[in-house]
Structure 1
Amino acid sequence: MRISISDYTVGAGVAGDLVNTSPTVRSTMGEALPDPEALAGFLAERDLRLDALADRPPTEDDLREVHLFRREVRGVLETATEEHAVAGGTVLAMRAGLSPVLQREPDGRWQWYVPTARGASLADELAALVGIGLLGVVRALGHERFRPCDAPGCRGVFVDTSRPGRRRYCGDLCGNRLNVANHRARRRLGSVAP
């Protein structure tokens, strides 16, 4: 797998999405990755082509390792300081990431990539992708972009890679749920007015 250093938003997005599949976050819905097929779907939805899965689908062992890795990612996203975030991101990146290489793109431009180690596990390749993404966010946008969801009762976390940096929710579900609740509250207030 080749991980683009300049496109850190991919790894950062995978970090938040993966953490938010946990039953800890999804208490009413349960585990979003209950089996290898769900893990395959998660990867496919994000167009992730991992070398570890070049000739096979995810296994129960892969799923178990990804569930454990998910906890590590949450730990990095909840760090209190930039230094801790960088240390955590570096540890993740080093699980399968090799030295950066400069490669020419089809359009002739040079691009930095981090290749992953041959034979790396699915979880280790994800770790390299996520680690490089989180390091890129700290460098380009700052550690304050690692955030908890603002929705009441949600335990989700995310990395805000949006240009304005004003994202408040871990996903569309929380944002939509809160917007609907606010709309209904406004309508109730409007119907009570004299």
Structure 2
Amino acid sequence: MATGLVNTSPVVRGAGEVLTDPAALDRFLADHGLRSGAVRASDDLARVHALRDEIRAVLEAAEDDAARRATELVARAGVGPGLHRDTAGRWQWHVVTAPHVSLADELAVLTGTGLLGVLHALSYDRFRHCAAPGCNGMFVDTSRAGRRRFCMPDLCGNRLNVSNHRSRRRKAT
């Protein structure tokens, strides 16, 4: 979710703001398995935009600073993580937040917890910039092999593959 949120910024590909209004934010949350209809206050969108910049700063920070900043995100409104069974009976992390916190603070706790988990389980070198030319996206590589190169493989990766394919075809003719 942190990767997805960071890559909604207009600075990523220069394509403009993705989270243009509360409805777009609501769709983003639903697409990431979070509560639909969670946008509760008129300033939720502005706060989430500010949080997006903070998360990008975590991803771009040096390792120790990234851990400190992610911990600050968790401390913002977190009560504590726990394990709960989902509807299929599988264990899933559940992060509890303080009552009546803003949507941005809830997202800060969720993303901070996830980023700390990656730092602990996979390592800092999994925080990466997109390898596609012209893309300023960032991502957290949670793949098993740790070889992911693009913030959005289906977009950035495909564009680069198509470009390389066309280049090879031109050289062959």
Q: Is TM more than 0.5 here?
A: yes
Deviation at 1:95, TM superposition (A): 1.2
The equivalent residue for 2:56 is 74
Query: Are residues 185 and 43 of structure 1, via their aligned partners in 2, closer, same or farther at CA, if it must alter by over 3 Å?
Result: same
Greater RCO, 1 or 2 (C-alpha within 8 Å, sep 6+): 1
The equivalences for 1:75-154 within 5 A come to: 75-81=57-63, 83-101=64-82, 113-154=94-135
Deviation at 1:96, TM superposition (A): 1.5
Question: 1:66 and 1:45 mapped to 2: Cα distance?
Answer: 16
Residue ranges of structure 1 left out of the alignment (5+ in a row): 1-13
The secondary structure found in structure 1 opposite 2:171 is: helix
Query: Are residues 17 and 106 of structure 1, via their aligned partners in 2, closer, same or farther at CA, if it must alter by over 3 Å?
Result: closer
Aligned match for 2:11, one of 20, 24, 43: 24
Write the letter of the residue equivalent to 2:16: G
The secondary structure found in structure 2 opposite 1:32 is: coil
Correspondence 1:167 to 2:148:
yes
Write the letter of the residue equivalent to 1:44: A
The secondary structure found in structure 1 opposite 2:58 is: helix
Query: Are residues 58 and 41 of structure 1, via their aligned partners in 2, closer, same or farther at CA, if it must alter by over 3 Å?
Result: farther
Question: 2:133 and 2:32 mapped to 1: Cα distance?
Answer: 27
Question: 2:42 and 2:13 mapped to 1: Cα distance?
Answer: 21
Correspondence 1:47 to 2:47:
no
The secondary structure found in structure 2 opposite 1:99 is: strand
What percent of counterpart residues are identical? Answer: 59
Write the letter of the residue equivalent to 2:99: R
Q: Answer yes or no: is the 8 Å Cα contact 2:13–2:134 preserved in 1.
A: no
Give the length in aligned residue pairs.
Answer: 172
Q: Give RMSD over aligned pairs.
A: 2.2
Residues 20-72 of structure 1, C-alpha deviation per residue, up to 9 Å, x if partnerless? 11111131x2000011110011011111028x92xxx4443100000011000
Q: Using structure 2 for the length normalisation, give the TM-score.
A: 0.90
